[in-house]
Chains A and B, each alone.
Chain A
Amino acid sequence: MGKKKNTASGERLYKAFIYVVLIALAVTIIVPVAWVFMASIKENSEFYGNPWALPKGFYWQNFVDAWNSANMGSYMLNSVMVTALALGILLIVALPAAYCLSRFRFRGRKLLNTAFMAGLFINVNYIVVPIFLMLRDGDLWLRKVFGNGFLLNNLVVLAVVYAATALPFTIYLLSGYFATLPHDYEEAAYIDGAGYGRAMWNIIFPMAKPSIITVILFNFLSFWNEYIISMTLMSSATGQKTLPVGLLNLMQAQQSAAEYGIMYAGLVLVMLPTLILYICVQKQLTEGMTVGGLKG
């Protein structure tokens, strides 16, 4: 009897301990993020006192300044364009390829599958320098022939590079799903007189909607948040930039100028879209994890 009581109270102690640890971990995540939101509406003079003081009021001027004078508005537009374009290209290219690689037998299929699998191990940032050199050399050549190069400092090229380097992961994820579908669907469609393209487009793609959404989510996050490739390929000091690169420049400038308010407003502008998206689709994202486990 006494022993039982003992284990029961031990049990309760264990549970309390677990709660304390979990809550502590949650706090270390929530508090810094919330702090940035709070700091983004503080006036500059408020940054010299206690960092935990609540803002005196809503100083929206930080956002106006970040949007206009720090160029965050146009950077955001660039980011939206690049992300949307890269996602579009990626889906148009990867969906049919993944479909063929997983559902047709042809010579060279094994080689292609292995090549794309190997691509999973190549990290984009390992090859960002040769990509840059290739585009630079291309520009030099274009300038010689046409008098004008357009490969560097070009948002469209950046989107193409994003899409191309996301192919291995996306094809891997999509083929995994396509391979699980029974072949009867296409057989039935062929008998009804549909061609290969029609069967793929009208029968298979609609069925793959959940995994297509997973692909869009993961790649949206990686394109939106990416900054190394963007910084390298859009290196012109006066040219267009994507939001994270603009923010990074702002952060490095703020270290001397001490206009913290604008910097934190910029941080909020970068993370707000991803946070909103996350709140809307958090179930999809954390459940897509098992398939997305190999994200580079």
Chain B
Amino acid sequence: MFSVAAGRRTARRVSVDLGKEQAVMKKDRKMSGFLVLCLAPAVILFFIFMIVPTFNVFRISLYEKGAYTPDETFVGLANFKTLLTDASFIRSMQNMILLVVVVTIITFAFALVFAGILTREKLKGQNFFRVVFYIPNILSVVVISGIFSAIYKPENGMLNSIIGLFRDMTNPILWKGQSLVMVSIIIAMVWQAIGYYMVMYMASMASVPQSLYESAGLDGAGRLTQFFQITIPLIWTNIRTTLTFFIISTINMAFLFVKAMTSGGPNGASDVALNYMYSQKDAGLYGYSMAIGVVIFLFSFALSALVNKVTERETLEF
């Protein structure tokens, strides 16, 4: 597509010397061929498996389409109307928002503080800590959920057996019970994410020149002041980008954790929107499932736009 256009354009531009023009055109055609050959596979795969499905999320949401009905009927916004009164859906959205907000705040606070400490202080075993903190990030969510089910097991789980040293355990704490399940998922998600972001901020904090801290120290600025007045503002651009992507990825990670750890249970207490979408697909309600997908799409775009806007600052150079 673009190759033909590019060839035509060059042909129009070069019109002085016929021989030269032919040479240029020949080279141009060669280049176009090369470009098409290189780009076509990527564009085709991207189109079939990302653009078309994304478009289909929006299209199918307007239809009634099921596993057991061969045809799809256009129903307009009826699926969305049902959503508004679906208590399970509303709870799954609330849970998703709760996870996104709480996990983001805890992870970023800890990751930034630890990264600040590890880059600023001369500590022994820095590399050891860095290597260890990154480990959860390389494990599959399925593995993590297996590890955490061993931690959260009510009778002789790791956590309850430690707590049992301090208090009576005739009624074991049900970590995956109705009231605590969200807390348990938050702990698991923070456990998984913290190291990755810490290591990343360590890399960007290391580029802040030492001299800035030295002169600030001479001016009497303490550690906290230095952290908030120098470190954070100087790596703000990095924080901002990662924050936007972290929020999108948390919507997804919340689904992965919930699906593997609890499948949304008990009684939907830990259901999140993507998991609800998936369960509606399993129930064979494709149109309805995609209406949920549309809401998630719009929500995640709106949220990243909002975060992007709110965190806007003047870029500082050093």
Contact = CB atoms under 8 A, between A and B. Distances in A.
A96 B135 contact: no
B50 A122 contact: yes
A287 B135 contact: no
Interface residues of A, number: 95
B93 interface: no
16 contacts: A29-B133, A32-B158, A35-B150, A49-B156, A96-B37, A97-B38, A128-B278, A129-B293, A225-B139, A251-B145, A251-B146, A267-B147, A270-B143, A271-B143, A274-B140, A293-B245
Interface in B42-90: 42-43, 45-46, 48-54, 56-57, 60
Interface residues of B, number: 94
B30 interface: yes
Interface of B: 1-3, 5-6, 9, 30-32, 34-35, 37-39, 41-43, 45-46, 48-54, 56-57, 60, 114, 117-118, 121, 123, 128-136, 138-143, 145-151, 153, 156-158, 161, 191, 194-196, 199-200, 203-204, 238, 241-242, 245, 248-249, 251-252, 255-256, 259-260, 274, 277-278, 281, 286, 289-290, 293, 296-297, 300-301, 304
A203 interface: no
A104 B37 CA distance: 14
A28 interface: yes
Contact of B151 (A32, A200, A296): A32
Contacts of A124: 252
B147 A33 contact: yes
A282 interface: yes
Given A263-B146, A293-B241, A51 B134 contact: no
Interface stretch (A61-69, A111-119, A176-184): A111-119
Nearest to B57: A130
A15 interface: yes
B142 A247 contact: yes
Residue among B42, B60, B117, B153 having the largest count of chain A Cβ atoms under 10 Å: B42
Contacts of B274: 125-126
Nearest to B121: A18
Given A39-B150, A133-B60, A94 B42 contact: yes
A207 to B, nearest CB: 17
A293 B238 contact: yes
A164 B39 contact: no
Given A22-B123, A108-B5, A195-B34, 7 more contacts: A29-B195, A50-B156, A123-B249, A127-B50, A131-B49, A195-B30, A296-B252
B231 to A, nearest CB: 16
A130 B292 CA distance: 13
Contact of A224 (B60, B140, B191, B293): B140
Contacts of A120: 245
A283 B118 CA distance: 17
A167 interface: yes
A185 interface: no
A161 interface: yes
Contact of A196 (B34, B43, B277): B34
Contact of B2 (A108, A197, A251, A296): A108
A168 interface: yes
A227 B142 contact: yes
Interface of A: 15, 18-19, 22, 25-26, 28-33, 35-36, 39, 47-52, 92-94, 96-97, 99-101, 104, 106-109, 112, 115-116, 119-134, 160-161, 163-165, 167-168, 171, 195-197, 200, 221, 224-228, 244-245, 247-248, 251, 263-264, 267, 270-271, 274-275, 277-278, 282, 285-287, 289-290, 293-296
Nearest to B3: A106
Contacts of B255: 125, 228
Interface of B is mostly: helix
A242 to B, nearest CB: 10
Nearest to B223: A14
Contacts of B129: 22, 25-26
A167 B132 contact: no
A124 to B, nearest CB: 8
A122 B158 contact: no
B42 A130 contact: no
Contacts of A51: 150, 153, 156-158, 161
Nearest to B297: A126
Give the most central of B56, B195, B304: most A CB within 10 Å. B56
A287 B203 contact: yes
A285 B150 CA distance: 28
A296 B247 CA distance: 10
Interface-centre pick from A35, A120, A130 (highest chain B CB count, 10 A):
A130
Given A50-B156, A127-B54, A30 B281 contact: no
A164 B45 CA distance: 5
